[in-house]
Amino acid sequence: MSVEATALPAGKEPTLRVIPMPSDASHTGDIFGGWIMSQVDLAGSIPAVRLARGRVATVAVNSFIFKQPVFVGDVVSFYAEVVKVGRTSITVDVTVLTYVAVDKERRPRVVSVQQ
């Protein structure tokens, strides 16, 4: 199994942290992509609302790339950062990170911490 390295945004706290529940998952236990997209929208709105000092509305999503599945009980962290401000628009980049220990068959496994 190839593991892609992911770096945490340097010196930043997550804008939003969420734990998906069984109602957010398919019958196979994978969290729905739509649920993740909804959480990204919420996370992205937080810095936009602060900057706008009021209401904002989502008008476009440039891309979504799902690199790994998310499962019930995972802690999912969303990092949002304003990257561009126009006359009436605010572009926010949202990075989503989740980490799950998996076995050779890519199934979630218990993490054993040895000290």
Q: Are 32 and 26 in contact (CB under 8 A)?
A: yes
pLDDT at residue 58 tops 50: yes
Q: Which of 90, 63, 80 is nearest to 18 (CA)?
A: 80
Res. 44 pLDDT band, cuts 50 70 90: very high
C-alpha span between 15 and 95 (Å, rounded): 10
pLDDT at residue 3 tops 50: no
Which pTM was predicted?
0.76
Number of H-type helices and E-type strands within the chain: 1, 3
Q: Which domains does the chain carry?
A: 16-98 (3.10.129.10)
CA atoms within 13 A on the CB side of 74: 23
